[in-house]
Amino acid sequence: MSNQSILLPVSPLRRRMLEDMAMRGLREETQRDYIRFVGGFATFLGRAPDTATAEDIRRFQVHQTESGVQPPTINASVSALRFLFTVTLDRPDLSRRFILVRHPRKLPDVLSVDEVGRLLEAAPGPKHKAALGTAYGAGLRVSEVAALKVDDIDSMRMLIRVEQGKGRKDRNAMLSPQLLELLRLWWREGKRRGVMLPHGWLFPGRNALEPISTRQLNRAVHEAADVAGIAKRVSPHTLRHSFATHLLEQDVDIRVIQVLLGHAKLDTTALYARVATKTIRAVTSPIEALKLLMEGQSPGG
């Protein structure tokens, strides 16, 4: 089997892997990424990946490191190739040869409340203003914002239904009165334009039958940040980070924030405690007790 043939849609190996991923409920975006990473591995080998040896795997990972591939990308390729060798090829012995790379976890960039307001004001049009407002106001991932439908907005219960979020899990997100008003402004404008279809996408793309793409939302947030004069590196996910951080600074229980974000582990949510500046400032340092000693008093009185 040539390298070219395994990348064609008719390739038996590719078809089998796609079937395996579909059976296990992997998202379409994940499936595309997995196929792309397997294709990159095949290109490195110069032959079909089902002929790979343990030494080939070692050489591939050495090549990635020496080529300057970043740890998150290496680890994403490991996930894809482990799936291929464990599930599709039934070669767990080779799957174990792929090594995850440890890397320091950087603190997320967070906007102030004022910066969020300026960014939303600068958003290019009512649709993008409402979409980015949803990312911040409900703490949704950009893919979750893009996948929303009109029927997912429950104004009676003041909830947003997020179907098949990360990990293929459904959850309810919060719907604040101000966000609801922002969505209603866009809904009325969308109806006027004829792009808001019954039971259709809340944020349709250029074709009303298709949802807005995550790429369009990324482009919109970058454009808005430039117009607003925000120098920080901003993405739609920055709005989700800001949502969580601002809630923490309002003394919302971190376990509640975990549920709202749809995090499986509390450790993931706890990262925001490291960037919540008001929370940090509110803590009294133990060195304050030394002030009494410096003044010639004992801490006990």
pLDDT attached to residue 192: 92
More confident residue, 248 or 97: 97
In this structure, are residues 132 and 224 in contact, taking their beta carbons and an 8 Å threshold? Answer: yes
Tell me what the mean pLDDT of segment 109-121 comes to.
Answer: 89
Tell me what the mean pLDDT of segment 114-132 comes to.
Answer: 93
Cα distance between residue 169 and residue 264, in whole Å: 10
The active-site residue, picked from 16, 36, 166, 222, is 166
In this structure, are residues 165 and 27 in contact, taking their beta carbons and an 8 Å threshold? Answer: no
Answer yes or no: 199 catalytic.
no
Q: Which residues contact 126 (CB under 8 A, 6 or more apart)?
A: 185, 186, 189
pLDDT attached to residue 267: 61
Cα distance between residue 100 and residue 22, in whole Å: 25
- Backbone torsions φ then ψ of 130, nearest 5 degrees: -70, -40
The active-site residue, picked from 129, 141, 171, 246, is 141
pLDDT attached to residue 251: 80
Which tens digit of pLDDT belongs to each residue from 177-233? 999 999 999 999 999 999 999 899 999 998 889 999 999 999 999 999 999 999 888
In this structure, are residues 19 and 10 in contact, taking their beta carbons and an 8 Å threshold? Answer: no
Answer yes or no: 128 catalytic.
no
- Is the pLDDT reported for residue 16 higher than 90? yes
Answer yes or no: 91 catalytic.
no
pLDDT attached to residue 284: 47
Q: To which H or E segment does residue 244 belong?
A: helix 236-249
Tell me what the mean pLDDT of segment 242-265 comes to.
Answer: 79
Answer yes or no: 136 catalytic.
no
Per this entry, what is the length of the chain?
301
The active-site residue, picked from 240, 246, 278, 291, is 240
In this structure, are residues 28 and 211 in contact, taking their beta carbons and an 8 Å threshold? Answer: no
In the three-class reduction of DSSP (H, G, I as helix; E, B as strand; rest coil), residue 99 is classed as coil
* Residue 72, burial from CB neighbour count under 10 angstroms (0-12, 13-18, 19+): exposed
In this structure, are residues 254 and 270 in contact, taking their beta carbons and an 8 Å threshold? Answer: yes
The active-site residue, picked from 16, 36, 59, 263, is 263
pLDDT attached to residue 285: 44
Cα distance between residue 284 and residue 46, in whole Å: 61
Position 2 confidence tier, pLDDT thresholds 50, 70, 90: very low
Position 170 confidence tier, pLDDT thresholds 50, 70, 90: confident
Span between the terminal Cα atoms of the chain, in Å: 83
Q: Which domains does the chain have, with CATH numbers?
A: 3-95 (1.10.150.130), 113-281 (1.10.443.10)
Q: Which residues contact 92 (CB under 8 A, 6 or more apart)?
A: 85, 86
Number of Cβ atoms within 10 Å of the Cβ of 204: 19
Position 72 confidence tier, pLDDT thresholds 50, 70, 90: confident
